[in-house]
């Protein structure tokens, strides 16, 4: 069963209620789902059209090519994840510890990646398959997303929360890499998202903090 799509769809602005905007959003949603399941090489516009319930030629009214459509999905996947993490962190109580903020970020990343957004899964699973010229906007969003995590880790270092024996940049990349890899093995028929989040938080907490 396909997951829910994020409410913040790429390219949907003030005119989101128009029929054209809704159709464009539906095509993007369909492309995100197909790309997350079949990968870059296996994504065909006919599959996207079928899932979006439109005629394949209609896609070209909104996107000039298959590549442009995929590029938009890849960008949206990271952009949505960044906005989601910002919202989660901003909504935490003011007295939340930095470690608890990191653990909240772990949960936000996993739930958005595995439960909420086909865009995020598509972007994460296909990053190594997409031609480099299609990744310019995605890379900028990835850098912005990474800076949000870096700020949390730097604050944890300043507080003395992180084990001084750890290299903070390496630790950050290992945590984010592990979270991203969940998109490759997670199967809701075999794993509970709650259990995955809980185990990830335990690993991160015990792995980052000093004995």
Q: How far apart (Å, rounded) are the C-alpha atoms in residues 123 and 102?
A: 22
- For the domain made up of 67-208, give the CATH fold: Tetracycline Repressor; domain 2 (1.10.357)
- Output the CA angle 175-179-180, nearest 5 degrees: 115
Mean pLDDT rounded to a whole number for the chain: 88
- Identify the CA nearest to 65 among candidates 158, 166, 145, 133: 133
Tens digit of each residue's pLDDT (9 = 90 or more) over 94-105: 999 999 999 999
Q: What are the structure tokens assigned to 169, written together?
A: 């940049």
Domain boundaries, the chain: 67-208
Q: How confident is the model at residue 12 (pLDDT cuts 50, 70, 90)?
A: very low
- DSSP tag of 11: T
In the prediction, which pLDDT does 15 show?
52
125-143 tens-digit pLDDT: 888 888 888 888 888 999 9
Of 49, 38, 114, 122, the residue nearest 79 (C-alpha) = 122
CB atoms within 10 A of CB 180: 17
More confident residue, 10 or 18: 18
29-73 pLDDT, tens digit each: 999 999 988 989 999 999 999 999 999 999 999 999 999 999 999
């Amino acid at each position: 069963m396909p997951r829910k799509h994020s409410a913040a769809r790429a390219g949907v602005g003030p005119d989101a209620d128009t029929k054209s905007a809704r159709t464009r959003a539906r095509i993007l949603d369909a492309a995100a789902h197909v790309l997350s399941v079949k990968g870059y090489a296996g994504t065909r516009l006919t599959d996207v059209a079928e899932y979006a319930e439109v005629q394949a030629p209609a896609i070209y009214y909104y996107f000039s090519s298959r590549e442009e459509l995929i590029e938009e999905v890849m960008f949206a996947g990271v952009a949505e994840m960044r906005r989601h993490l910002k919202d989660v962190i901003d909504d935490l109580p003011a007295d939340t510890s930095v470690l608890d903020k990191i653990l909240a970020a772990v949960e936000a990343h996993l739930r958005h990646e595995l439960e909420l957004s086909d865009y995020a899964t598509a972007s994460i699973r296909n990053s190594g398959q997409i031609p480099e010229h299609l990744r310019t906007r995605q890379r900028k969003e990835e850098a912005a997303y990474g800076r949000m995590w870096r700020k949390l880790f730097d604050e944890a270092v300043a507080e003395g929360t992180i084990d001084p024996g750890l290299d903070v940049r390496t630790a950050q990349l290992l945590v984010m890499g592990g979270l991203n890899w969940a998109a490759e093995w997670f199967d809701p028929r075999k794993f509970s998202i709650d259990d995955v989040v809980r185990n990830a938080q335990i690993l991160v907490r015990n792995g980052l903090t000093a004995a």
